[in-house]
Structure 1
Amino acid sequence: MAERDRRWSLARAFMEREGLDALLVFGEHEDAGPAAVAYDTWFTNGRPGTTVVFPRPGEPISLLPAPMFILDHLESTRQGDIMWIPPKNLRSFRASGALVETLTELGLAKGTIGVVGLGPHLPWHPEGIVPFQLWNNVLTRLPEAEFRSVDSALAAITMRLSDEEVAAVRHSAGIGEAMVRAMVETAAAGVSESEVYAAGMAAGYARGTIPAAMMFSSGPNPISSGWPRWGYRPQAPRILRDGDVIYSEVFCNFGGRHTQHQVTITIGDVHEDFHRAGRVVRESYDAGLEALRPGRTFGELVDAIHKPLDAADGSMFLIAVHSLNPGLAVGKGRGDIGRLPGAETYPPVPDGHPTFMADLELAPGMTFVLEPQFAVGGHLVHIGGTVIVGEDQPIELNPYTAQILPAAGTTRPTPK
């Protein structure tokens, strides 16, 4: 409850400072996967996917997407959980009609309301998450209310975690690392991709969390970054072979605090260019650790990480760093995708994009994922993990995944 009071006090001070009568916070569906817009849980400590109305002089009200959320709240209460939002502050639905009724009930029909959900939420929602029809109905029925997008401004006050939140991040990072170790211990020539994937996810479930679906690909020189293809297309998982590499991005979440783990696993003897690329990304990772100091800016951190990458002879396809909890500050991108063999037949990809929130000042308790990736001769390596800005030195939570990891599973006969 001390953590609840800390967060609610920060929210009230934010509203006072910004001249807001209330906050209106839209939460994305609980199955949204990594980089979900889940600011609602920051206020509720509850099941994701609600809409929160927080009047400055009162307590937050949580509008629920379906009656099943009432059952979940009731069962949690019956089992002795401490609930941040009492039953009297719950509403059974979060459609536009219920939202307008709640705002009117609170005397906000002519108020100034800060909205979370209209602004950028990178990478998936650069223009917000609020459904058009819902928002059009709200604006039509509350013509005298003033709504302001406050996504980035509110994110800034949630980024500096408390000691209790940092403890949750550390625990999440430990679970994520256990997931990766399980994958390494399973991976071998002759083993199915799905077995490696299942070993990692099972390690997360067994340790008391429900991790988001990981990104996963394999092959002699894989480049993709997404679900394994058998996760969305009717086809069999690959059987790993000697000389393959597995790339995976593992997402762990404990208590609403997120960690990420970038994984490169080698199967047997791989091309020497992987090791060359590995040295480049390790230098980049170390430069990021050195730059992760209070008082520096996020832009300076990004520039430090990119210096070894820009100096090396090779390619970079994705970003090398972004914030966590929330994942809003995003490092610049280098658009080398268009240089890949076969890319000429695809729509053109921008040469790159600038850093988002470059002026953000680093402060103790902020969390980031250092995830440099680099390809030499088309052979890509991706490493990294979660780090915390400390009082003076960076807190590195996942040194295990900041290196290339040789597979340690038992080899099986590989089908011809």
Structure 2
Amino acid sequence: MKRLLILFFGLFLNFGAQAQGNLWTGVWSSDKGELSITQAGGYIYGVHDQWVFFGKVYPGGRRAAGTFVNSAQKSAGRFDIMINGDNLSFSGFLAPGEDFRVLTKDNAISWDGNKTQKELLTFSDKNGNSLVMSEQGMINGRQDNGRVFYGKAKTTQFDFLTADLELARLDPTGKRADPPVKGELILFSDPFNPANVKMAVTGVGSIARWQAAREAEAKRIEAQNKAEASKPMPKASSNMYRMKMTYNDVTLTKARVGRNQRGDLSISTLIQGPKPREEQISYVRDNRTRGKSNFVWFGWMGNNFGTTWPEGQKRNIGKFVIWNIPFSTAEIQSSTMKITTSMRFSWGPNLLAADMWGDRSNNLAEIIKFLSGQTQAGDYPNASGGRKRLPNSDETFWLETVGGKRYVRGEGEMYDDKDHVRFRYTYTLELID
């Protein structure tokens, strides 16, 4: 659960940066366990590995007091803590019972903590909803209407998270002003667009209805793909190129620490150009799935976000896609169409760089010109290692003729902006009948 939660946030959520003057936001070690705290709207919201807490931040920003709740044990209490002069530690008290009272060493137990350098698991959306989550899955957040919600993660997959919640309103002292009511959290994203994250805090039963709708849509798409797969493929003609792209292999060339890296790799390709032309392209993937699309996603190379990649070990992929491109070379060239390889690698627990993308676009017209015999390898300038440069292309290629058939073999490299991790990948392009 811990690894999945970290990687879920690394894949799809926006990490909240600590605002200037906000002393509370961050991950703290304490004598009562690790704490993750975020500050919003004059209140702090925090999570422990077993309970949550929320409270008012007093003028000056150094003192916070409020309520902690352990839903599993059906218990609650009060806390009153203050940031020390070093701005990196706090001291204070906590005691059972939600009734407001001044806490001292005579009626409460001490509570001390120190800020760490760990990354905070936190998220806020454009509607004013926000949350913070612990590595164990405890969730605490605030709705745009000021109501707080808290609970524990229930289901975590690579594209969504659900949780059972309690919801309540706070009075000015940080105490729950009314009895909590039951609710549910759904947090999900489009896997092709990590910025498209949405959060919904809803009533009981919404998760079941949402999952049922997802399953129904998956069955509809499966039935549609089966129907498309039963149709005959169009034949290649002077105005129809059938281009096959095979992903050959991938190799980890650099790990962050040591000679191994844990994480999962995703691969996708698309043909980019004017939208009216894109809409006329269709594909068949691995001789199974067909569709009307310029975008093909091949899924994840990994298992539960924990695959180990040894440095230098080549891993065969062997997956392919065939595009039906109903345009002449001149039409492709005038439209400046490109074929783009996109790779994504996700890992944890280093959330500063838990997700990286690499996009490489290449000139589709020049690729097809060579594959169809309209140009020769000698028409292009040399690059290193016997490769050739194609105009307006990010990568370099081996342009080969074997047994009378032509191939464009590409090699690319993907790395994150901090150069923590690097991958090298190879693929082959060819025309087929």
Does TM, scored on the shorter chain, surpass 0.5? no
- The structure where helix makes up a greater share of residues is 1
- The structure where strand makes up a greater share of residues is 2
Kindly name which structure, 1 or 2, has the bigger radius of gyration based on alpha carbons: 2
Question: TM-score normalized by structure 2?
Answer: 0.27
Question: TM-score normalized by structure 1?
Answer: 0.28
Bigger RCO of structures 1 and 2 (CA < 8 A, at least 6 apart): 1
